[in-house]
A and B are shown apart, each in its own frame.
Chain A
Amino acid sequence: MNYNLALSDDILLSIEKPERYIGNEVNSVTKDKSKVDIRFAFCFPDVYEIGMSHLGIQILYGMFNSYEDVWCERVYSPWTDMDELLRSKNIPLFALESQDPVKDFDFLGFTIQYEMCYTNILQVLDLSGIPLLTKDRTWDDPIVIGGGPCTYNPEPIADFFDIFYIGEGETRYRELFDLYKKAKAEGISREDFLHECAKIPGIYVPSLFDISYKEDGIIAEIRPVYDDIPATIKKEMCLDLNDMFYPTKPVVPYIKITQDRVVLEVMRGCIRGCRFCQAGQLYKPLREKNVERLKKLALEALANTGYEEISLSSLSSSDYTQLPELIDFLIEHCNEKKINISLPSLRIDAFSLDVMSKVQDVKKSSLTFAPEAGTQRMRDVINKGLTEEDILRGSQQAFLGGWNKVKLYFMLGLPGETDDDILGIGDISNKIAALYYETLPKDKRNGRAIDIVASTSFFVPKPFTPFQWARMNTKEEFLDKANKTRKGIMAQINQKHIKYNWHEADASMMEGVLARGDRKLCKVILEAYKKGCIFDAWGEYFKFDVWMDTFKECGVDPFFYTTRNRTDDEIFPWDMIDAGVTKAFLLREWHASQEGKKSSNCRQQCLGCGAASYGVGVCKEGRNNA
Chain B
Amino acid sequence: MHKLRLKFSKNGPIKFIGHLDVMRYFQKAIRRADIDVKYSEGFSPHQVISFAQPLSVGATSDGEYMDMTVNSMTSTQDIMDRLNSVMNEGIKILAVTELSDKDGKAMTSSFAARYKLSFRENLMPDFDWTSEFEKYISQDKLPAMKKTKSGEKEIDMRPMIFEYSLDKDAKELDILLSMSSAATLKPTLLFEGFFAFEGKEFNKNALKIHRVDTYKEGFEGEKHYTEPFITDDTSKRFYLSDAQV
Binding site for B on A (CB under 8 A): 1-3, 5, 8-10, 12-14, 18-19, 22-26, 252, 254-256, 302-308, 337-338, 340, 361
Q: Is there an interface contact between B88 and A308, defined as CB atoms closer than 8 Å?
A: no
Q: Which residue of A lies closest to B21 (CB)?
A: A254
User: Given known contacts A19-B17, A306-B29, A308-B31, what 18 new A-B pairs fall within 8 Å (CB)?
Assistant: A1-B12, A1-B89, A1-B90, A3-B13, A9-B205, A10-B206, A13-B57, A18-B16, A18-B57, A19-B16, A24-B90, A256-B21, A256-B24, A302-B31, A305-B32, A306-B31, A306-B32, A307-B28
**Which B residues are in CB contact (< 8 Å) with A26?**
25, 28, 32, 88
**Which A residues are in CB contact (< 8 Å) with B150?**
none
- CA A10 to CA B202, docked complex, whole Å: 13
Q: Is there an interface contact between A305 and B28, defined as CB atoms closer than 8 Å?
A: yes
**Which A residues are in CB contact (< 8 Å) with B25?**
26, 254
Inter-chain contact total with CB atoms closer than 8 Å:
82
**Which A residues are in CB contact (< 8 Å) with B28?**
26, 252, 305-308
**Which A residues are in CB contact (< 8 Å) with B29?**
306
Q: Is there an interface contact between A361 and B43, defined as CB atoms closer than 8 Å?
A: yes
**Which B residues are in CB contact (< 8 Å) with A302?**
31
**Which B residues are in CB contact (< 8 Å) with A19?**
16-18, 21
- CA A307 to CA B32, docked complex, whole Å: 8
**Which A residues are in CB contact (< 8 Å) with B81?**
none
20 contacts between A and B (CB under 8 A): A1-B89, A5-B13, A10-B120, A10-B122, A12-B58, A13-B57, A13-B205, A14-B205, A18-B16, A19-B21, A22-B13, A24-B88, A26-B32, A254-B24, A255-B21, A306-B27, A306-B29, A308-B27, A308-B28, A340-B44
B69 to chain A minimum Cβ distance, whole angstroms, is 14
Task: Report if A303-B32 is in contact (Cβ < 8 Å); known contacts: A5-B13, A24-B88.
Answer: yes
- CA A8 to CA B205, docked complex, whole Å: 11
Is there a chain A Cβ closer than 8 Å to B45's Cβ? Answer: yes
- CA A252 to CA B21, docked complex, whole Å: 12
**Which A residues are in CB contact (< 8 Å) with B205?**
9-10, 13-14
**Which A residues are in CB contact (< 8 Å) with B14?**
1, 24, 254
- CA A413 to CA B88, docked complex, whole Å: 51
- CA A26 to CA B13, docked complex, whole Å: 13
Q: Is there an interface contact between A254 and B90, defined as CB atoms closer than 8 Å?
A: no
Partner of A1, one of B27, B39, B88: B88
Q: Is there an interface contact between A13 and B32, defined as CB atoms closer than 8 Å?
A: no
Most buried by B among A12, A19, A306: A306
A369 to chain B minimum Cβ distance, whole angstroms, is 25
**Which B residues are in CB contact (< 8 Å) with A8?**
120, 122
Q: Which residue of A lies closest to B17 (CB)?
A: A254
A205 to chain B minimum Cβ distance, whole angstroms, is 39
- CA A25 to CA B89, docked complex, whole Å: 10
- SS of A interface (majority): loop
- CA A340 to CA B43, docked complex, whole Å: 10
**Which B residues are in CB contact (< 8 Å) with A18?**
16, 57
- CA A304 to CA B21, docked complex, whole Å: 18
Q: Is there an interface contact between B21 and A12, defined as CB atoms closer than 8 Å?
A: no
- CA A3 to CA B28, docked complex, whole Å: 23
B51 to chain A minimum Cβ distance, whole angstroms, is 16
Q: Is there an interface contact between B27 and A338, defined as CB atoms closer than 8 Å?
A: no
Is there a chain A Cβ closer than 8 Å to B240's Cβ? Answer: no
Q: Is there an interface contact between A2 and B32, defined as CB atoms closer than 8 Å?
A: no
**Which A residues are in CB contact (< 8 Å) with B17?**
19, 254
Interface membership of chain B positions 30-61, coded 1 if the CB is closer than 8 angstroms to chain A and 0 otherwise:
11101000010001110000000000011000
Is there a chain A Cβ closer than 8 Å to B73's Cβ? Answer: no
Q: Which residue of A lies closest to B20 (CB)?
A: A256
Partner of A22, one of B16, B31, B86: B16
- CA A306 to CA B24, docked complex, whole Å: 10
Most buried by A among B16, B43, B203: B16
- CA A361 to CA B203, docked complex, whole Å: 48
Q: Is there an interface contact between A9 and B32, defined as CB atoms closer than 8 Å?
A: no
A493 to chain B minimum Cβ distance, whole angstroms, is 34
**Which B residues are in CB contact (< 8 Å) with A10?**
120, 122-123, 203, 205-206
**Which B residues are in CB contact (< 8 Å) with A338?**
39, 45
Most buried by A among B13, B18, B205, B208: B13
- CA A211 to CA B206, docked complex, whole Å: 57
Most buried by B among A12, A252, A254: A254
- CA A18 to CA B57, docked complex, whole Å: 9
Interface membership of chain B positions 82-125, coded 1 if the CB is closer than 8 angstroms to chain A and 0 otherwise:
00001011100000000000000000000000000000101100
Most buried by A among B30, B31, B120: B31
Q: Is there an interface contact between B88 and A306, defined as CB atoms closer than 8 Å?
A: no
**Which B residues are in CB contact (< 8 Å) with A255?**
21
- CA A255 to CA B39, docked complex, whole Å: 23
**Which A residues are in CB contact (< 8 Å) with B90?**
1, 24
Partner of A2, one of B13, B39, B57: B13
A148 to chain B minimum Cβ distance, whole angstroms, is 28
- CA A106 to CA B13, docked complex, whole Å: 26
Partner of A13, one of B12, B44, B58: B58
- CA A607 to CA B123, docked complex, whole Å: 69
Q: Is there an interface contact between A306 and B21, defined as CB atoms closer than 8 Å?
A: no
Q: Is there an interface contact between B120 and A3, defined as CB atoms closer than 8 Å?
A: no
- CA A26 to CA B89, docked complex, whole Å: 10
**Which B residues are in CB contact (< 8 Å) with A1?**
12-14, 88-90
- CA A307 to CA B24, docked complex, whole Å: 10
- CA A255 to CA B120, docked complex, whole Å: 26
A363 to chain B minimum Cβ distance, whole angstroms, is 9
- CA A13 to CA B203, docked complex, whole Å: 11
Partner of B30, one of A2, A3, A306: A306
Q: Which residue of A lies closest to B29 (CB)?
A: A306
B199 to chain A minimum Cβ distance, whole angstroms, is 22
**Which A residues are in CB contact (< 8 Å) with B88?**
1, 24-26
Q: Which residue of B lies closest to A339 (CB)?
A: B31
Q: Is there an interface contact between B120 and A9, defined as CB atoms closer than 8 Å?
A: yes
Q: Which residue of A lies closest to B42 (CB)?
A: A361
Q: Which residue of A lies closest to B206 (CB)?
A: A10
Q: Which residue of B lies closest to A255 (CB)?
A: B21
**Which A residues are in CB contact (< 8 Å) with B86?**
306
A71 to chain B minimum Cβ distance, whole angstroms, is 19
Q: Which residue of B lies closest to A304 (CB)?
A: B32
**Which A residues are in CB contact (< 8 Å) with B31?**
302-303, 306-308, 337
- CA A337 to CA B39, docked complex, whole Å: 10
Q: Which residue of B lies closest to A5 (CB)?
A: B13
Q: Which residue of A lies closest to B43 (CB)?
A: A361
Q: Is there an interface contact between A3 and B12, defined as CB atoms closer than 8 Å?
A: yes
- CA A18 to CA B86, docked complex, whole Å: 23
- CA A380 to CA B105, docked complex, whole Å: 63
**Which A residues are in CB contact (< 8 Å) with B27?**
306, 308
**Which B residues are in CB contact (< 8 Å) with A14?**
205
**Which A residues are in CB contact (< 8 Å) with B203?**
10
- CA A26 to CA B16, docked complex, whole Å: 15
A28 to chain B minimum Cβ distance, whole angstroms, is 9
Q: Which residue of B lies closest to A253 (CB)?
A: B21
Closest 5 CB pairs of A and B: A306-B28, A306-B31, A1-B89, A306-B32, A18-B16
**Which B residues are in CB contact (< 8 Å) with A340?**
44
B87 to chain A minimum Cβ distance, whole angstroms, is 9
B153 to chain A minimum Cβ distance, whole angstroms, is 27
**Which B residues are in CB contact (< 8 Å) with A3?**
12-13
A16 to chain B minimum Cβ distance, whole angstroms, is 11
B191 to chain A minimum Cβ distance, whole angstroms, is 15
- CA A419 to CA B21, docked complex, whole Å: 50
